[in-house]
Amino acid sequence: MSAGEMVGKRVAVEDGLCERHGPFASRVIAPGVVLGCPACLEEVRREQAAFAARARVENRYLDAGLPLGVQDVGLDNFKCAVREQRAAVAHARGFVECYRAGRNLILSGPAEGKTHLLVAVTKHIAARGAMVRYLNAADLLMAMTEVGYGRQSESAVLHCFVGPSLLVVDHVGDVHWTRYLRTLFLRVIDARCSAGLATAIASHTDVARLQDDIGERTLRRLWAHGNELVTLNQKIHRSGTALRSTAEFDRYLNPSKE
């Protein structure tokens, strides 16, 4: 086809043959410029769109503070060896659906899977585009103690932990909580609860030790009516099912009063 033939007939058509899709009508968009197989082009377009969508979600995970290599962590592949773990994954699912109502999630106990659940919850909510902050208690406390070195004002630090729609604090029992840190954390939790923003925490310790670590007021604030405290204990006889009310919380912490 000559350039003359192109004039007045903007798009010409040639017979093409794709190795994979067979014969096709090849569009000539300019002299010497022939489009390839439309089925192949569509495949490339879809791959690029899927890649961009994956990259968008991966970026949201990174923005949320999730470590790399959590692609395979989800609620569907949580291994439930004991009854408490089945209860915990059910609670995590419920939390994903209702965190906007300011519900909090507290996971405690020595059984494995708390980090898995927190990461899965963070991924679910971050993937929807919500602002989520996931971090270990050690990093939270580090950020708070840096206030003392004048790097950021205390209000700026508090703002950074009060701002996200969901704050996730893992490994709460692995750090040394001083009175000062306990007070700062209470201010964060107070502000978040007042604003109706959800928080999820996990500690390998039992509830009594968790209370010693973060302070009773903070734990009570997190565990207001309607929130869930899930214990993951290998020893089923110790606590068992999720505790749901403040009255139960009191009994749990003060068994002698029963």
Residues 249 and 240: their CA atoms lie apart, in Å, by 13
Among 2, 3, 15, 20, binds Zn ion (CB under 5 A): 20
- SS3 category, 223: coil
**One-letter amino acid identity for 247?**
A
CB of 46 to Zn ion, least distance (A): 13
Cα dist. 192→27, 44, 132, 160, 165 in Å?
59, 45, 13, 11, 9
Among 11, 17, 30, 39, binds Zn ion (CB under 5 A): 39
Nearer to Zn ion, 42 or 97 (CB): 42
Using CB under 5 A as the binding rule, whether residue 34 contacts Zn ion is answered as: no
Residue from 12, 13, 16, 21 touching Zn ion (CB under 5 A): that is: 21
How far out from the chain centre does Cα 144 lie? 22
How near is the Cβ of 118 to Zn ion at its closest, in Å? Answer: 45
State how far the alpha carbon of 248 is from the alpha carbons of 162, 205, 207, 258, in Å.
Answer: 28, 18, 12, 10
Shortest reach from residue 50's CB to Zn ion, in Å:
18
Q: How far is the CB of 31 from Zn ion (least distance, A)?
A: 23
User: Letter for the amino acid at 153?
Assistant: S
Closest alpha carbon to 95 in 237, 248, 222: 222
- In the bound state with Zn ion, the residue whose beta carbon lies nearer, of 19 and 76, is 19
Q: Which is nearer to Zn ion, 36 or 129 (CB)?
A: 36
Q: Give the start-end residues of each E strand in 124-224.
A: 132-136, 166-170, 198-203
Q: Which is nearer to Zn ion, 16 or 163 (CB)?
A: 16
Choose the binding region for Zn ion from 29-37, 95-103, 200-208, 231-239 (rule: CB under 5 A).
29-37
Q: Which of 37, 106, 137, 169 binds Zn ion (CB under 5 A)?
A: 37
Strand partners, 230: 107
Q: Which of residues 40-79 bind Zn ion (CB under 5 A)?
A: 40
Instruction: Return the range that interacts with Zn ion (CB under 5 A); candidates 38-46, 81-89, 162-170, 198-206.
Output: 38-46
Name the segment binding Zn ion (CB under 5 A); options: 18-26, 46-54, 181-189, 246-254.
Answer: 18-26
Tokens standing for 247? 């009255």
* CA R_g for the chain: 27
Residues lying near Zn ion in the complex (CB under 5 A): 18, 20-21, 37, 39-40
